[in-house]
Amino acid sequence: METLLAAIIDKRPKSRVTIKPDQHVFRGERVPLRCDIDADGVSSWKYNWYKGETEGSGVSQHSDEVTLTVSEKAQTVLSVSPQTWLTEGDPVTLNCAVTGSSTGWTFSWFTVSSSVNTYKRVRYEPLSDSRRGAGGKHTVSSADLKHTGVYVCAAERGNPAYETLYSNKQPLWVTGVSPPVSLIIRPNRTQHFTLVSLSLSCEDQSNSDRWTVRRYTESWGPEDCSSFYGGSQTGSTCTISSTSTLDTGVYWCQSESGEEYHPVNITVHFGVILESPVHPVTEGETLTLRCLYDYVSPPILSADFYKDGSLVQNQTTEMIIPTVSKSHEGFYNCKHTARGESPKSWISVRGSRSESQISVLKILTSVLAACPYLLVTVVLIYKCCRMRSKTPE
């Protein structure tokens, strides 16, 4: 009897539950639950819904259990690949993802406005091509100076739309191959001690005063030199009277029309710092790194030097690379056994100018060499055409 009853029950149609857009949803999000029954000969069903239990009345079999997870407000995370520091022409991809969920999202992209009002309120400006669909990627095949900025992303799904919070702020800095202005830093290094004076000057060939020194810090966002604590600008020179760790950030020169040039990452640190060049190093040149400490005289320490976290030279007062190549590009820092470790600095390597000049010279030489042959060919074609026109029919 029990076997017959089980066979009858097994022949009953089975219901199926689906949840859209995902089994992981967020507080405040609209969640449609759908129950379907695949059965022939029956046009209408009465549906009963159960939460956390399997008993109830009905003719069909119960569906399999489906877990619905509800979290607090959805959070997006923004990252960059391959790196945040680029040279003009490099490819870059911004990756946006919703923590713990990947289904049904449409992503939008924004930049942090470079104009901040008196109350330091940050505004987000949507990119002209901000809507990127479900892929969560914004790719630039060839970076331009205009792509320098601070980016955030957000996502939405459903109808009515459920919107996530804005993501973390992700800076992206593009260095020009030959920018019209240079940011000159005194002392001439990217890492600096606390409680010292720091000078930053925007210098171009005409020595004009049309440049403003600006910066972006995690604490204050984008701001002019005159807004820095202890900062003042005279002409195109910005002076910070007494540095603090809050001055750590990216500094650049901005034109009167709002164009941004020559971003430099500056770190202010209490303790050991790395002395490294401000500007990109050209292939073939010599690179010298030193480990400095403000409370010894002279301030140069014998230390270990690291590239991308790996030890490359130990117990030396300076690390020298006599002939730099592109493979030497990376993050460098130094470490002293007693005094501590410096922050990391990115050292960029650009192509040799001489090689570029040789390439251009080769092209010009080839064109000039071909000119006589091209000229003779044109003359012959012209004469041939004239002779044909004079030949009687």
Could you say which of 26, 42, 71 is where a domain stops? 71
On whether both 193 and 294 belong to a single domain, the answer is: yes
User: CB under 8 Å to 10, separation ≥6 — which residues?
Assistant: none
On whether both 250 and 211 belong to a single domain, the answer is: yes
The string of pLDDT tens digits covering residues 344-389 is 998 988 887 544 444 434 444 444 455 455 555 555 665 655 565 5
User: CB under 8 Å to 15, separation ≥6 — which residues?
Assistant: 35, 36, 37, 47, 60, 61, 62, 63
On whether both 264 and 301 belong to a single domain, the answer is: yes
The pTM score is: 0.67
**Predicted local confidence at residue 73, as pLDDT:** 78
On whether both 215 and 330 belong to a single domain, the answer is: yes
Could you say which of 71, 87, 114 is where a domain stops? 71
- Rounded to whole angstroms, the Cα distance separating 319 from 345 reads 14
On whether both 253 and 284 belong to a single domain, the answer is: yes
312: domain CATH number is 2.60.40.10
**In a domain? residue 37:** yes
On whether both 209 and 159 belong to a single domain, the answer is: no
On whether both 84 and 45 belong to a single domain, the answer is: no
The total domain count for the chain is 3
**Predicted local confidence at residue 360, as pLDDT:** 39
**In a domain? residue 382:** no
**In a domain? residue 368:** no
**In a domain? residue 318:** yes
**In a domain? residue 126:** yes
On whether both 106 and 9 belong to a single domain, the answer is: no
On whether both 67 and 144 belong to a single domain, the answer is: no
**In a domain? residue 391:** no
**In a domain? residue 190:** yes
On whether both 197 and 321 belong to a single domain, the answer is: yes
* pLDDT tens across the length of the chain (393 residues): 556 555 555 566 777 777 666 656 666 666 677 777 766 666 666 767 766 655 544 466 666 666 555 556 788 999 999 888 888 889 999 999 998 887 889 999 998 875 544 455 678 888 876 556 557 898 899 998 888 888 999 999 988 889 999 999 998 988 877 788 899 999 999 999 999 999 999 998 887 888 999 999 988 888 899 889 889 999 999 999 999 999 999 999 998 888 888 899 999 999 999 999 998 899 999 999 999 999 999 999 999 999 999 999 999 999 999 999 999 999 999 999 999 999 999 898 888 754 444 443 444 444 445 545 555 555 566 565 556 555 554
**In a domain? residue 361:** no
On whether both 54 and 126 belong to a single domain, the answer is: no
Could you say which of 151, 175, 199 is where a domain stops? 175
Three-state secondary structure along 65-100?
CCCCEEECCCCEEEEEECCCEEECCCCEEEEEEECC
User: CB under 8 Å to 183, separation ≥6 — which residues?
Assistant: 200, 201, 202, 213, 251, 252, 253, 261, 262, 263, 264, 278
On whether both 216 and 311 belong to a single domain, the answer is: yes
Q: What range does the domain containing 285 cover?
A: 182-350
